[in-house]
Amino acid sequence: MKGKEVLRTLAKKYYGLYLPVEKGMSQSPWYRKYVLAGKPENTEELPGFTGSEQDEIFLFSTPAGEVEVIYLERREDFELFLQKLAYRCEPEPIRPDVGAMMISGVINWEKIESHKRKYLEKRNLDWKEEFRRFTSRPENFKDRVLILSGGPYSNYPAQKAGYTPEEWKKISIDIRMYHECTHYVCRNRWPEKKETVLDEVLADAVGLLGATGRYDRRLALEFLGVAEDGTYTGGRLGAYVSEDELPQRAAYALEISKKIENICKSEEKAGSDPFSITEAFYRTL
């Protein structure tokens, strides 16, 4: 699906999109009524959103299953979407280098209402009890939402990346999609091996492979703000680790990037299946 109707279609599932972003909204009667009780009053307005003909919803296949991807063209719409769904309608600042997010645990009222209709059609009457049973299993009614924006990846300029602005915009969207889906795949297949710096370097590698067909280690390190000698120069890495840990973690990021580069050179399938390097990488740990 593509166009300005994307946001309105999403609001039919995620009622928080009907609410404004205001301090204290997550604790308000309105939030409880719309999001938690599923009883929206005004479904005509989507406060703050503009929408774009370039907005899109599509499915993307990964080794861990299909993921529904939402792309919002306008940066303002992207940030507002995060505030409404990830931060429960609170005015949480969104860092400029954040261009994608996988949001878990989003209540999908369309799923609940669909189940209710089927339940009542069978002449069952105790919906209250069935509602408790149905919502006791999060997988029945909660979604994992992948949202992408259209700005430069990691807020990194197109000229420095070696591309035209239009080329870099398209590549950035693909990097984000593969990056976030890599986190999803890794948590699904290797949940015990979660480690922030490792996860970010590996996800960027899959992102670059998926978007450009090759792993540019220099570019990957610059996304994080890590120099070739392993020092931190200011970048995304600072958002994941404390200041006193930066020297050690920057050196670790460099080490991982070299290991990934070697894997990419030896993995014949890396070009056709970017996710293949995740399994090859975890075999080395």
Q: Is 54 left (phi over 0), alpha (psi -120 to 50) or beta?
A: alpha
User: Within 13 Å, how many C-alpha atoms sit on residue 44's CB side?
Assistant: 1
Residue found under tokens 């979407």? 81
pTM: 0.92
Q: Residues 81-106: pLDDT tens digits?
A: 999 999 999 999 999 989 999 999 99
pLDDT-derived band at 285, boundaries 50, 70, 90: confident
Average pLDDT in the 260-285 region? 83
Cβ atoms of 252 and 160 within 8 Å: the answer is no
**Rounded mean pLDDT, 121-144:** 93
Span 36-74, pLDDT tens digits: 999 999 999 999 999 999 999 999 999 999 999 999 999
Helices (H), 71-157: 75-85, 109-121, 127-134, 138-141
Whether 267 has a pLDDT exceeding 70, the answer reads no
According to the model, what pLDDT value does residue 268 have? 58
Per-residue b/e over 119-141, b at no fewer than 16 CB within 10 Å? beeeeeeeeeeebeebeeeeeeb
173-213 pLDDT per residue, tens = 999 999 999 999 999 999 999 999 999 999 999 999 999 99
Q: What pLDDT score does 93 carry?
A: 97
Domain boundaries, the chain: 1-150, 188-285
Contact 89, 27 (CB under 8 A): no
**Mean pLDDT across the chain, nearest whole number?**
95
Q: Categorize the per-residue pLDDT at 123 as very low, low, confident or very high, splitting at 50, 70 and 90.
A: confident
